[in-house]
């Protein structure tokens, strides 16, 4: 038994399981392993220091898998933005057929660049209104991210159990469910709620092939569903990260009435986070993590994880739910 959906057909993948793009994690080792296991692996463009480096990483990934893979381009609100169009051109030149996007409305310029080349656009949203807007402007697949997710869950605080079916009621194009999903139960729930696949980030960080330190992977296993902090709430740029001494300090400082972003900048800079992922020193910075940590109990290979998820989902559909039908 296999789950065939519009997502598997459009992306040319065996299983409706996508590895989301993650800063500092989305390298060829992880993306190729996910794709080789029948899912869709994703390189993260801005993890690379330049568009030229992204071109090299695309080629490196292609040498490691003959299956489809995607490249994530996230447009951040920042004073000194990178050359997003140059990164998009690297994707086009590299012959990549799928792009995952997220971020501000400027991302539409990326869509306009890649769509004429027949590239499928998968856009991550945290609200139904944003999903409808993306659909209107030509996106092919929506990834709807519930409040449980790692990274930026938006400012509406709507959990997946409500957000996914709410989006499914209105969005006509295929949709992936994201946030809080890490096993076969999550896949079945996502399909039941109206999605046609799942997008996982944190769960794929806790795999053998994820190019991060074993101490970080062990932290994902150790933390439970309460093991996250919400930061940047005061600055209307909410982010969910793993609970550690640094994110605890960020929360404490931010709670002060007169707190400014400059008071926490030194704690949350990307360079510190990259050092944490590489060194395993969990006091170096912040790291992305979702509530799904409560469902992470081991560090399998990507193949083992995907096969387990699909096997669990099949068993639930054929046996457990079947027994409940009167």
For residue 326, the model assigns a pLDDT of 78
Asked if 219 and 185 sit in the same domain, the reply is no
Round to whole Å and give the CA distance between 225 and 219.
12
The verdict on residue 66 lying in a domain is yes
3-state class of 223 per DSSP?
coil
The verdict on residue 296 lying in a domain is no
Residues 286-303 have a mean pLDDT of 98
| Direct distance between the N- and C-terminal alpha carbons of the chain, in angstroms, rounded to an integer | 23
pLDDT class for 270, splitting at 50, 70, 90?
confident
1 has a pLDDT exceeding 80? no
Asked if 64 and 200 sit in the same domain, the reply is yes
306 has a pLDDT exceeding 70? yes
**Tens-place pLDDT, residues 28-84:** 999 999 999 999 999 999 999 999 999 999 999 999 999 999 999 999 877 788 999
Query: Average pLDDT over the chain, rounded to whole?
Result: 96
Q: Are 38 and 13 in contact (CB under 8 A)?
A: yes
CATH number of the domain residue 71 falls in = 3.20.20.70
Asked if 60 and 177 sit in the same domain, the reply is yes
Q: Which domain holds residue 232?
A: 214-291
Q: Give the chain's domain count.
A: 2
3-state class of 173 per DSSP?
coil
For residue 293, the model assigns a pLDDT of 98
pTM value?
Answer: 0.96
Residue spans of alpha helices (H) in the chain: 6-11, 28-36, 51-62, 84-93, 107-114, 128-136, 160-168, 184-193, 202-205, 214-222, 245-254, 265-268, 270-279, 302-315, 321-324
The verdict on residue 1 lying in a domain is no
Residues 131-137 have a mean pLDDT of 97
Round to whole Å and give the CA distance between 18 and 178.
9
| Percentage, residues of the chain above pLDDT 90 | 94
Asked if 176 and 225 sit in the same domain, the reply is no
Q: Are 122 and 70 in contact (CB under 8 A)?
A: yes
């Amino acid at each position: 038994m296999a789950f065939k959906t519009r997502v598997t057909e459009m992306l040319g993948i065996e299983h409706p399981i996508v590895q989301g793009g993650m800063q500092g994690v989305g390298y060829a080792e992880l993306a190729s392993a996910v794709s080789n296991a029948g899912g869709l692996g994703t390189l993260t463009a801005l993890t690379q220091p330049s568009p030229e480096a992204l071109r090299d990483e695309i080629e490196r990934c292609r040498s490691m898998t003959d299956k489809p893979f995607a490249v994530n381009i996230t447009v951040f609100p920042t004073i000194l933005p990178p050359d997003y169009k140059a990164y998009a051109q690297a994707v086009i030149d590299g012959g990549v057929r799928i792009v995952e996007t997220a971020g501000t409305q400027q991302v539409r310029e990326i869509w306009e660049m890649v769509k004429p080349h027949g590239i499928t656009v998968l856009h991550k949203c945290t609200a139904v209104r944003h999903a409808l807007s993306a659909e209107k402007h030509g996106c092919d697949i929506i990834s709807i991210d519930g409040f449980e997710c790692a990274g930026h869950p938006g400012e509406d605080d709507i959990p997946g159990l409500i957000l996914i079916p709410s989006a499914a009621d209105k969005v006509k194009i295929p949709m992936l469910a994201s946030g809080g999903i890490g096993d076969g139960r999550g896949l079945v729930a996502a399909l039941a709620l109206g999605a046609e696949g799942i997008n996982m980030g944190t769960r794929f960080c806790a795999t053998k092939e994820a190019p991060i330190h074993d101490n970080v992977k062990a932290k994902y296993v150790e933390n439970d569903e309460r093991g996250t902090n919400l930061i940047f709430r005061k600055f209307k740029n909410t982010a969910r990260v793993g609970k550690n001494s640094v994110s605890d300090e960020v929360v404490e400082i931010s709670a002060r009435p007169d707190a400014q972003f400059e008071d926490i900048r030194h704690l949350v800079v990307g360079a510190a986070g990259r050092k944490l992922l590489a060194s395993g020193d969990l006091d170096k910075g912040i790291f992305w993590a979702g509530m799904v940590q409560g469902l992470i109990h081991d560090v399998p290979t990507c193949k083992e994880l995907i096969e387990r998820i699909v096997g669990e989902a099949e068993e639930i559909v054929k046996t457990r739910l079947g027994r409940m039908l009167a």
